[in-house]
Each structure stands twice: as structure tokens, then as C-alpha cells.
Amino acid sequence: MLIAQVSSPRFRKPRLQRMPAQTGTPMESQACPSCGARAGGRAECQGLFDQLGALAWSDPRRAAVHNLVVDAYCLQHPDQYCESAKSYAAHLTRLCCALEFGGQPCLYWAIPRWLDGKVQLRKPLALRVRGAVTVADVHAAPNSDAYAARVREWARSVWEAYASQQDLARAWMRAAIAGVSSRR
Ligand SMILES: [Zn+2]
């Protein structure tokens, strides 16, 4: 059943009330508590990310940036995706791999191989500010070229937010490369 919107001036909605889904109005009154995306809340934010995953292989321009999508999103939602030291290291090192080491597939592959071995890791303290660009900005891109550009902006924004941990990420990336080289 469609819910008619009440337009009486005497009716004032509470600030955080969601808009009825049937109106098609974006639920911009609530922000994701983890990344700040104006998506309607944590569940709606997750929904946007899941949609990007489902569309990732529909276009090579989307596929080419999907590693960035996953790592940017996970690093903005560390409570869920970076709980263990290994998962934290995996996402941060992958982002470093893409932005500072060229992001070749062989380098991406080095990261899980390094983490599968005996590796001593100390998980850094989670950051409270994790980048101003969010999945909602990326999701709203009008076409695949704009999408790819926004994903790169998103990844760069997250990487800059993690500035205090970039040296650690670089050290992890070098360890991953060294681990693979020593097995050759
Ligand atoms: Zn979020």
C-alpha cells in the first residue's frame, strides 16, 4: 500500500525519520555510522556496496577498479571487515599496492601468500576519520567512466585518511614482495 505523504504544515517529521521507500526519495536524513555515507544507515550503505559488487563484472571499466572498491569500503568499515590483524593488513596493503606499487596482479597475489605464512602482525589502532568520499558518491556516478574516476577519488581519499599508517602499509607491501621473491 502506498503511503501518502502528509503535507500539512502542522505535521513535522522527526529529523531522522526515513522517507517512505515508495516515494523514491533518497533516504538522506541518516548517515552510515561507519563511513558517513548519506545512504539511510548502515544496512542501506551495505546495500549500495553489494550492488556495486553485483555490477562489477558487467563492464570492464567497472571490473578494472573493483579491487579499489572492495578495499576502500572495507577500510571505511573496519569493525566488520578489518577485525583481525590479518584482514586489516590485507585491505590496507592492497590499497597501498594499487596506489603506490602499480597494482599489478602479481603484486596483489603476493599479499595473501605473505599473510598465509608465518607473519607477525600488530593491528594498528582503528582510525576515526576514514575519508570524505563514500560508497554513496561512487554509487551515484552516471556512467562507467565517471564511476571509475570516482572510485579512484574514493580510494585516494581513504588512503589519505590513513596517512598515519601509510609507512606501515608500505613496509607490509615490501614484506609481501620479499616473501614471494624468496620462494622463487
Ligand atoms: Zn558505510
Question: How far does the centroid of ligand 1 lie from the alpha carbon of residue 121, in Å?
Answer: 26
Residue 61: predicted pLDDT: 97
Q: Kindly tell me if the per-residue pLDDT of 15 is higher than 50.
A: no
For residue 165, being part of any structural domain is answered with yes
Residue 102 and residue 122 in contact, taking contact as beta carbons nearer than 8 Å? no
If one counts the domains in the chain, the total is 1
d(CA 123, CA 129) in angstroms, rounded, equals 17
Residue 29: predicted pLDDT: 67
Question: How far does the centroid of ligand 1 lie from the alpha carbon of residue 34, in Å?
Answer: 5
Question: How far does the centroid of ligand 1 lie from the alpha carbon of residue 110, in Å?
Answer: 28
Question: How far does the centroid of ligand 1 lie from the alpha carbon of residue 11, in Å?
Answer: 31
Question: How far does the centroid of ligand 1 lie from the alpha carbon of residue 183, in Å?
Answer: 39
Residue 26: predicted pLDDT: 52
For residue 101, being part of any structural domain is answered with yes
Q: How confident is the model at residue 2 (pLDDT cuts 50, 70, 90)?
A: very low
Residue 123: predicted pLDDT: 94
For residue 19, being part of any structural domain is answered with no
For residue 118, being part of any structural domain is answered with yes
For residue 20, being part of any structural domain is answered with no
Question: How far does the centroid of ligand 1 lie from the alpha carbon of residue 38, in Å?
Answer: 9
Residue 39 and residue 29 in contact, taking contact as beta carbons nearer than 8 Å? no
Q: Kindly tell me if the per-residue pLDDT of 5 is higher than 70.
A: no
Read off the pLDDT of each residue in 70-90 and give the average, rounded to a whole number.
96
Question: How far does the centroid of ligand 1 lie from the alpha carbon of residue 61, in Å?
Answer: 23
Q: How confident is the model at residue 25 (pLDDT cuts 50, 70, 90)?
A: very low
Question: How far does the centroid of ligand 1 lie from the alpha carbon of residue 39, in Å?
Answer: 8
For residue 106, being part of any structural domain is answered with yes
SS3 content of the chain, % helix, strand, coil (to 5): 60, 0, 40
Tell me the CA distances in angstroms from 101 to 142, 144, 147, 153, one per residue in order: 29, 24, 22, 17
Q: Which set of grid coordinates corresponds to residue 16?
A: 531522522
Q: Which one has a higher pLDDT value, 61 or 118?
A: 61
Question: How far does the centroid of ligand 1 lie from the alpha carbon of residue 179, in Å?
Answer: 34
Q: How confident is the model at residue 120 (pLDDT cuts 50, 70, 90)?
A: confident
Residue 151 and residue 56 in contact, taking contact as beta carbons nearer than 8 Å? no
Question: How far does the centroid of ligand 1 lie from the alpha carbon of residue 77, in Å?
Answer: 6
pLDDT digits (tens, 9 = 90+) for 130-170: 999 999 999 999 999 999 999 999 999 999 999 999 999 99
For residue 2, being part of any structural domain is answered with no
Residue 20: predicted pLDDT: 40
Q: Residue 133: give the domain boundaries.
A: 27-182
pLDDT digits (tens, 9 = 90+) for 87-114: 999 999 999 999 999 999 999 999 999 9
For residue 11, being part of any structural domain is answered with no
